[in-house]
Structure 1
Amino acid sequence: MAVHDKSAEAELKGVAADTLVSSPVPSKSSDNQDEDYAIQAKPQRKWQSYVWDTLDKSPQERKFLFKLDAAVLTFGSLGYFIKYLDQININNAFVSGMKEDLGLYQNQLNYMQTCWTVGYVIGEIPSNMILTRVRPSIWIPTMELIWTVLTMCLSRCNSASSFYALRFVIGLAESTFYPGMVYVIGSWYRRDELAKRSCIFHTSSAIGSMISGYLMAGVYHLGGKGGLKGWQWLFIVDGIISLPVAISGFFLLPDVPEITRAWYFSPTEREYAKKRMEFEGRANRAPYTKAKFKKIFTSWKIYALTALYITFNNAGSGITQPTFAQYLKASTDPKYTISQINTYPTTTYAVQIVSTLIYAWTSDSVFRGARWPPIVVGGLICIVCYSSLAVWNIPVGWQWTCYILAGCGGGMSGLCMAWAHEICSDDNEERAVVTGTMNEMAYVFQAWLPLVVWQQIDAPRYYKGFVTSACLNAGMIISALVVRVLWKRAQAKTRKQAELA
């Protein structure tokens, strides 16, 4: 692929360029029915692109991206939706009769969550390494089928120990999905496209958490049908919803550009996908070597980005724990129904969905591709919310507001991962290992931190948990600023080397 001036070469390495570059990808169709595709970097974006980034691109590129979005975002979003549906259902079941039916009055809920997390942690990095060797269209849907079946099996558990065992294996299977799809998404999209897609993908986790509450409120009335309690029906219904999504992955996932065999792309479009990533400076797959591992683990990237993601992921644990639901359940004046306990906390996830999309669009437009400003803003909002909840004796209206606005802290995962893809774009294996390590280490902390600061016996006040979340949000802001400084230094070094070449 020919690149026609140095400023374009600089852009491939993350350095701004003010030139127009066009690189044709010749049609390989024998009847010449496929148009020539051009990869373009435009000096100024039209206003339409701030609404959606394909609106100022060529018809051919719009057609290509429409197909890609329809497949990857549809499967990715539905898959992440069912992952959270199957992950968060334990909380809804717990406050909807499971606690009383099985006599879970100590910290058993914490242990169930920890067993899931341990399985998740063990599986993440090996799974992402496997994805650089095995087709994602085989690996990811297969794991989805496994966790779907096991989720339905939870309905037959009658003791805490059986929940522990199944939750561990479900976590192991689910560990493949999020880091795997982050890797796939980062393999197809350019920098001006990546944040929006990553954040749209991430909003489906909040939608899954919301729907789990509504499902529990609905299936609770099935209690007694088939000899099952209402909370047991939740696991069965979740599995029924998940099954067709898992199967669709075998047909929708396009793998990665260099090995794609997606039926919905023409040969020209497959070649075009490869050229787009070459233009972006996104490296192809390469062998794992001793030198490569040394490069990855002696770089600041894996450590700084992992610190950012650890603080982000664990700062939001006040959302993933059923804090709002347990506050409502403990209330006696007024006393809330099971339906209200499951549905009112979904407002937090609604805020997460809206704020996630705001972060994506402002990052791409208002902040001109910078990822750190929305992270800082979201962190500041959450510091106020969690600090207020730690005080506890505050007006009821403000208490509800803090529980709901805490959702502003749950939508930054897409930005963090998009940032990591951009920073590690020149090495495919580093990108896979770094994004996998970010998620892996975040869940390593999540495996033990709730046992210390979110103990079930402290519900609903959770003083230690709210203080910890406020502090972690402060740590997230600091980490984001550190990554910004280190990335700017790396870009300056790359620019200087390009000028000397």
Structure 2
Amino acid sequence: MTVSTEKTPEEGPEGKITSSSPSSIGGEHFTINEKALLRKLDRRLLPPLTILYLLSFLDRSNVGNAKLEGLTTDINMTGNQYLTGLTLYFVGYVLFEIPCNIILKRTTPRIWLPTLSLAWGVVATLLGVVQNYDGYLSSRFFLGVAESGLFPGVVFYLSMWYKRNEQHYRIALFFSAASLAGAFGGILAWGIAHMRGVGGYNGWRWIFILEGLLTVVISLFAYLWVYNYPSTAEFLSEEEREFIYLRLKNDNDSTLDEKFSWSAVRDAFKDIKPTIIKELGYSAAEAQLLSVPPYAVAFVLTIAVAVLSERTRRRAPFIMATSSLACIGYILLLTQTSAGMAYTGTILAAAGIYPSVAIVLSWPANNVSGQTKRAIANALQISIGNLGAVLGTQLYRTESSPRYYLGHGFALGYLVVNVGTVAVLLAILKRENRAKEKKREELGIEPIMGGIADSGGGFLGDRDPRWIFQT
């Protein structure tokens, strides 16, 4: 792709023009500054999506805060029955992620994403009025079903707006809402818990009711805040729309008019490529507040690693480094008996896991081409990942507290396997890039992309020799 300005521009780490001069692409001149346009996209697209994910994570994780405030006692649950509810959430999540992304591809983001938010907001609110164990289980399952489409849907959605190397930073910003929700949720739950007795309800009920109603209200505004794709977004001028089209068509497949097809779905399947703190001896109120620092540190590190990954155009080294940091955290949790050192381990584990996951989630969006295949691959990746969450909810059983050797041991083992798997994948991607480079030399063609949108049926997706995998 050739991007130039009438003056001699300076190119930033993402390959974006840092000059304020008018831009030209492929010989067409524009009065648009590319860097300013990206900032405009970030302001319009990211805030509503990030708020929805913050609410999503808040509504799924506040069950831990509710447990501290008497959930299990009031509806006569054992600790292991409580864990079963956590498991059912992820069962619903895993089962419906792929169907949800199929629906997204066949409808529009403006309709589908706010509708999902409205649905889980209603379910989250109803959790506050459950009277028995069966109500708790069914509510958790359907909360997982309703929330399942947001994350994979947004990962695919952002891939339709940004160039490949620009996507990770935006996905990391979006994902950082999870760590922000963890920090914010502890403070919010601590405050709401003081409502115990209001309306005859215990504090845990108000946590579910107020946070669920907040989601319902925000979801209604989301029908106005969430846009579809560049070709129809109202906040873009015609010149901006054309500029986005031209800059994307030379970088990825988002400008192709690809219809949904079940063959692309099959292609995606065939492609193989706070409770712990209380147990340390703190009161419920202290535990709510002590859940804030691990998430706050994770939030800062997620953003910092995203910036470094974007600037260096590398993914695998950062995944391995942050996963190793999380390994140190779990080793501390397994070996230390003092509450202070174990709490340090909690901080390190969160600080390593969140940045690593943010990159892992954006990697397929960078490397899988074919819109339907990418939509399904994103959902499939997150579904498989959440199978681990299904297992994880059963590993932290009541009888193993406060050290949780089994759960921490499995987590440490998974992280070690993660480092090894990423190293293997890095080697495979480098090998395939070398093979593609050799093929390009034989055909006398240039790498990414030389006008994907103009290639008609000639573009082969991520199998195309012009497509370079990001490592």
Match of 2:242 in 1: 271
Q: What does 1:308-319 align with in structure 2 at a 5 Å threshold?
A: none
**Counterpart AA for 1:442:** G
Match of 1:318 in 2: none
2:367 to 423, 434, 458: 423
2:69 aligned with 1:127: no
How far 1:54 moved relative to its partner? 7.0
2:334 aligned with 1:361: no
Q: Distance in 2 between matches of 1:120 and 1:133?
A: 20
2:218 to 224, 230, 245: 245
Q: Is the 8 A contact 2:364 2:378 kept in 1?
A: yes
Q: Distance in 2 between matches of 1:147 and 1:436?
A: 18
How far 1:443 moved relative to its partner? 1.3
Q: Is the 8 A contact 1:199 1:414 kept in 2?
A: yes
Match of 1:210 in 2: 183
Match of 1:352 in 2: 298
Match of 1:22 in 2: 3
Match of 1:70 in 2: 43
1:389 to 329, 333, 339: 333
Deviation by residue 1:53-95 (Cα, 9 ceiling, x = unmatched): 6755755323432331112110111011000110101010001
Q: Distance in 2 between matches of 1:105 and 1:489?
A: 52
Match of 1:446 in 2: 389
Match of 1:380 in 2: 324
Q: What does 1:181-330 align with in structure 2 at a 5 Å threshold?
A: 181-257=154-230, 260-283=231-254, 284-289=256-261, 291-293=263-265, 295-299=267-271, 303-304=272-273, 322-328=274-280
2:421 to 479, 482, 487: 479
Q: Distance in 1 between matches of 2:275 and 2:414?
A: 17
**Counterpart AA for 2:90:** T
Q: Is the 8 A contact 2:327 2:412 kept in 1?
A: yes
- Residues 267 and 468 of structure 1: is their aligned pair in 2 closer, same or farther, counting only changes over 3 Å? same
CA RMSD of aligned residues (A): 2.4
Q: Distance in 2 between matches of 1:142 and 1:297?
A: 27
Percent of aligned positions that are identical: 25
Secondary structure of the residue aligned to 2:381 is helix
- Residues 217 and 478 of structure 1: is their aligned pair in 2 closer, same or farther, counting only changes over 3 Å? same
How far 1:288 moved relative to its partner? 4.6
How far 1:485 moved relative to its partner? 1.4
Deviation by residue 1:376-432 (Cα, 9 ceiling, x = unmatched): 111111112212212243x433222111111121222221122212211x3112211
Q: Distance in 2 between matches of 1:413 and 1:56?
A: 33
Q: Is the 8 A contact 2:328 2:348 kept in 1?
A: no
Q: Distance in 2 between matches of 1:159 and 1:391?
A: 38
Structure 2 unaligned regions, length at least 5: 22-31, 444-471
**Counterpart AA for 1:465:** G
How far 1:495 moved relative to its partner? 1.9
Match of 1:173 in 2: 146
Deviation by residue 1:280-314 (Cα, 9 ceiling, x = unmatched): 12243524546535543443xxx23xxxxxxxxxx
Q: Distance in 1 between matches of 2:238 and 2:380?
A: 34
**Counterpart AA for 2:73:** E
- Residues 340 and 40 of structure 1: is their aligned pair in 2 closer, same or farther, counting only changes over 3 Å? farther
- Residues 337 and 448 of structure 1: is their aligned pair in 2 closer, same or farther, counting only changes over 3 Å? closer
Q: Distance in 1 between matches of 2:20 and 2:310?
A: 16
1:144 to 117, 129, 132: 117
Q: Is the 8 A contact 1:75 1:248 kept in 2?
A: no
Deviation by residue 1:326-372 (Cα, 9 ceiling, x = unmatched): 324xx2xxxx332211110221101110110121011122xx21111
Deviation by residue 1:113-150 (Cα, 9 ceiling, x = unmatched): 11111111111001111211110110110110111111
Q: Is the 8 A contact 1:53 1:192 kept in 2?
A: no
Q: Distance in 1 between matches of 2:106 and 2:52?
A: 21
2:371 aligned with 1:460: no
- Residues 181 and 293 of structure 1: is their aligned pair in 2 closer, same or farther, counting only changes over 3 Å? closer
- Residues 57 and 351 of structure 1: is their aligned pair in 2 closer, same or farther, counting only changes over 3 Å? farther
Structure 1 unaligned regions, length at least 5: 1-7, 9-20, 24-37, 305-321
Q: Is the 8 A contact 2:75 2:132 kept in 1?
A: yes
How far 1:230 moved relative to its partner? 0.8
Match of 2:460 in 1: none
- Residues 403 and 91 of structure 1: is their aligned pair in 2 closer, same or farther, counting only changes over 3 Å? same
**Counterpart AA for 1:167:** R
Q: Is the 8 A contact 1:155 1:233 kept in 2?
A: yes
Match of 1:490 in 2: 432
Q: Distance in 2 between matches of 1:443 and 1:324?
A: 21
Q: Distance in 2 between matches of 1:129 and 1:178?
A: 13
Secondary structure of the residue aligned to 1:411 is helix
Q: Is the 8 A contact 1:67 1:264 kept in 2?
A: no
Q: Distance in 2 between matches of 1:191 and 1:53?
A: 12
How far 1:325 moved relative to its partner? 2.7
2:350 aligned with 1:407: yes
2:314 to 370, 379, 389: 370
**Counterpart AA for 2:432:** A
Q: Distance in 1 between matches of 2:8 and 2:393?
A: 46
- Residues 65 and 213 of structure 1: is their aligned pair in 2 closer, same or farther, counting only changes over 3 Å? same
Name the TM-score, length of structure 1 as normaliser.
Answer: 0.81
Q: Is the 8 A contact 2:16 2:34 kept in 1?
A: no
Deviation by residue 1:185-244 (Cα, 9 ceiling, x = unmatched): 121111332221111111101111221111110011111111111111111210232233
Deviation by residue 1:442-490 (Cα, 9 ceiling, x = unmatched): 1123223421x21133222110011111111111111111221121122
**Counterpart AA for 2:244:** A
Bigger mean CA deviation after superposition, 153-162 or 191-200: 191-200
